[in-house]
Structures are given as C-alpha cells and as structure tokens.
Amino acid sequence: MTASEPDRLRTPPKERFTGDTKPFDLDRIFEKLADEPHPSIDGHRQITLFKRGATTVLAILFEEEGRLPEHATKGVATIQVLQGRLEIETPDERHALADGGLLVLRPGVPHSVQALKPSRMLLTVHLVSE
C-alpha cells in the first residue's frame, strides 16, 4: 500500500495489474475475502483481480441473501458461478445459476444479483463503444 493511502484495504490496482501475465489462485482469493475484518456491503465482498483497457475481472464472494442491486454496464458482462447458487434478474427474465453456470449480458441490460446460498462469482466486463 502506498503511504498516501493508509486506509486502503488492498494494494492499489495500478500496482496489482503489472506484468504480461497474471495467474490467480481463486480459492486463496476467496479465502482472503472471507477473512477481511470489515463488514460486507449488501452481503458481499469483492476485489478487482484485473483491469486493463476495456477489460475488468472481479471476484465476488456472497453471503446467503447477499446481493448486487439493479445496475447496468456499458460493456458485455459475463457472470460465472464458481460455487453456490445465484439468481440474476433482468427486466425480461430471471436466471438461476449454480456451480459452473455462466450468463452473458449484452451492454446496457439492467440486472440484479441475489445469492440463494453462500456463493463465489467471477465477473468479467468488457467495455464497448456503440
């Protein structure tokens, strides 16, 4: 962490995203999220694993009943359930995803996420200009 940001929970993204390749131990990442001392927000904790150009990858750990309120992105979003059970609601449909489930959303689709049990999610957003 930098001296100018003593209250940061994590190393600044600019420092985390160096190098040409970036391997991740997702089990360890989710364990560290679960062990963070601060309270979760809306029943979830998240960390940006990678951000470069138009692409962002996040790991999100949900408690049972944890949620992401309705929102939309300016990019293609992929929601991958690594473990657990999530319900993703769009204006037109409700999708139930379990271990290994994947949902792809086109840019601008409003959606919310609700954890039906403790869950691990990998989210990738690739911004697009239309």
Task: Provide the pLDDT confidence category of residue 29 given band limits of 50, 70 and 90.
Answer: very high
pTM: 0.87
Task: Provide the pLDDT confidence category of residue 19 given band limits of 50, 70 and 90.
Answer: confident
Three-state secondary-structure class, residue 35: helix
CATH, residue 119: 2.60.120.10
- Segment 30-66, tens digit of pLDDT: 999 999 999 999 999 999 999 989 999 999 999 999 9
Domain extent at residue 66: 13-127
Q: Does 18 reside within a domain?
A: yes
Q: Does 110 reside within a domain?
A: yes
- Segment 2-18, tens digit of pLDDT: 444 557 777 776 777 78
Residue 74 and residue 32: Cα distance in Å, rounded? 29
- Count of domains for the chain: 1
Which residue, 73, 95, 77, is CA-closest to 85?
A: 95
Q: Which two tokens stand for residue 11?
A: 């190393």
- Segment 72-96, tens digit of pLDDT: 999 999 999 999 999 999 999 999 9
Contacts of 37 (CB under 8 A, 6+ apart): none
